[in-house]
Chain A
């Protein structure tokens, strides 16, 4: 068993180190018939927010030769409605269910976690941060999330080493390294990483930048950055190591092994499951067999 919250009174034990990333498999069992959920180390939901959110204006997906840009606006029914709608399915699903909560304000996070704490199917909360979150803002939302299920903080990939120690001090039980990169592209041209747009609740906004599509980039090219970020976070926290979940561009068993060898306790698989729904189960079996 893999323990992601060794210092939390409830703990968060996984039967294997492979789970999906948020935003990939839906809110519950949308992938029924295609994925054997019992083979997941954990199931991570799509993002929830305290209040319902409507989808962003289409188009929400931009296929690229090397991946895909996704900009959905994080549509969701809100935490309370989601619990009413999905908690029974979460209890039946099999693996521990980790609800991804988009961190908005400390008060919204506090109220959301109070509701999630009462949901029987929820084993953990993954807190999603804006890419440009300040250390102070991050500490406030993490502290607001404490007191309920174990809290995993998903750090912006390119700022993970900068933020990890503060996240640990604020009370995070584990860290996800990290969130998908925000990027822009003019298909079919080359991809460029965007660091300027200020996102809301972790999703980028179209700022009218000509014909460019913007969104979160998913593709194998992210993997070297994810591996580097995991190594940097492990190196930045030698005194108080938190369990780390490595994420970003993991498309093969070899990718997963490299992330685990770098010091991560578990991995999150993202767009690879759209391409190959069976990849998580195969990856989990291979890693368990050593």
Chain B
């Protein structure tokens, strides 16, 4: 955990999302699912720091995607990001796994995981929510895209399901209904309440996981369900 600054080097639109590449700072190792809390000197900066889910850190840089409605969609090359991180616990890819199913409305926060899985020669499928008739987005990754509800076939195909949905507990229950005896860590959910401090100090990011209320910024934001 450290505080560091990066400079925005490149902004681009890719797959319907805003791609941001930053550099000029220290080398930071970030596991997919871990986050950095960012602050930028721009008009759209909210009061609290903004969680970013970066990927592909190299040579003192990091990259991330944001939705066009995200406050950092307004970043421009040359802007400076003040970052605290990496925070929390990320995803873990089982060593003998080969099939990753990503269930999310957008790849914004799970892009890093999909990217790493492809580097490790996983087959990656992105399952988007309905409606089934809507056009599928293009993605800057070699990812198969499906739309609709989780099926028994998909649950059987996957070695790991990474989830970024509003109700991951209900989703995990559905997975257990469709697949008997899933291996440990089969469903890994990114849970992202507001995280004011990012270090477990403020106690304000508690989420109900099983019988307890855990701090998402230190026990998560990735939880094994």
- Residues in A lying within 8 Å of B, measured CB to CB: 23-26, 30-34, 46, 54-68, 70-72, 75, 219, 271, 274-278
Contacts and interface: CB of A to CB of B under 8 A. Distances in A.
B47 A219 contact: yes
Majority secondary structure of chain A interface residues (helix, strand, loop or mixed): loop
B197 A274 contact: yes
B210 to A, nearest CB: 14
Interface of B: 1-3, 39, 46-49, 84, 193-197, 199-208, 213
B1 A33 contact: yes
Which of the listed residues B3, B47, B194, B205 has the most CB atoms from chain A within 10 Å of its own CB? B47
Contact of A30 (B2, B84, B199): B199
B46 A25 contact: no
Contacts of A219: 47
A67 to B, nearest CB: 5
B195 to A, nearest CB: 8
B204 A70 contact: yes
A58 B206 CA distance: 6
A59 B203 contact: no
11 contacts: A24-B201, A32-B1, A34-B84, A58-B208, A60-B193, A65-B46, A68-B194, A70-B204, A274-B49, A277-B84, A278-B3
Contacts of A23: 202-203
A30 B215 CA distance: 13
Contacts of B207: 58
A61 B199 contact: no
Given A34-B2, A58-B208, A277-B3, A64 B203 contact: no
B2 A26 contact: no
A183 to B, nearest CB: 14
A64 B47 contact: yes
B204 A60 contact: yes
Contacts of B3: 34, 277-278
Contact of A55 (B195, B196, B201, B213): B213
A72 B200 contact: no
A137 B46 CA distance: 40
Which of the listed residues A70, A75, A274, A278 has the most CB atoms from chain B within 10 Å of its own CB? A274
A23 B203 CA distance: 8
Nearest 3 interchain pairs by C-beta: A26-B201, A61-B204, A30-B201
Which of the listed residues B3, B196, B202 has the most CB atoms from chain A within 10 Å of its own CB? B202
A55 B206 contact: yes
A32 B199 CA distance: 9
A68 to B, nearest CB: 6
Contacts of A275: 39, 47-49
A61 B193 CA distance: 8
B196 to A, nearest CB: 5
A71 B196 CA distance: 12
A150 to B, nearest CB: 24
A26 B194 contact: no
A271 B48 CA distance: 9
A27 to B, nearest CB: 8
Contacts of B201: 24-26, 30-31, 46
Contacts of B199: 26, 30-31, 34
A267 to B, nearest CB: 19
B202 A70 contact: yes
Contacts of A66: 47
A63 B46 contact: yes
A61 B47 contact: no
Given A30-B199, A34-B84, A275-B48, A61 B205 contact: yes
B208 A72 contact: no
Contact of A72 (B46, B193, B203): B203
A197 to B, nearest CB: 18
B39 A274 contact: no
A54 B215 CA distance: 12
B39 A46 contact: no
Contacts of A278: 3
A219 B70 CA distance: 22
Given A59-B193, A61-B204, 19 more contacts: A25-B201, A33-B2, A54-B213, A55-B213, A57-B213, A58-B193, A58-B208, A60-B205, A63-B46, A63-B194, A65-B46, A68-B47, A68-B194, A72-B206, A75-B206, A75-B213, A271-B196, A274-B49, A275-B47
Nearest to B214: A55
A239 B195 CA distance: 45
A60 B196 CA distance: 10
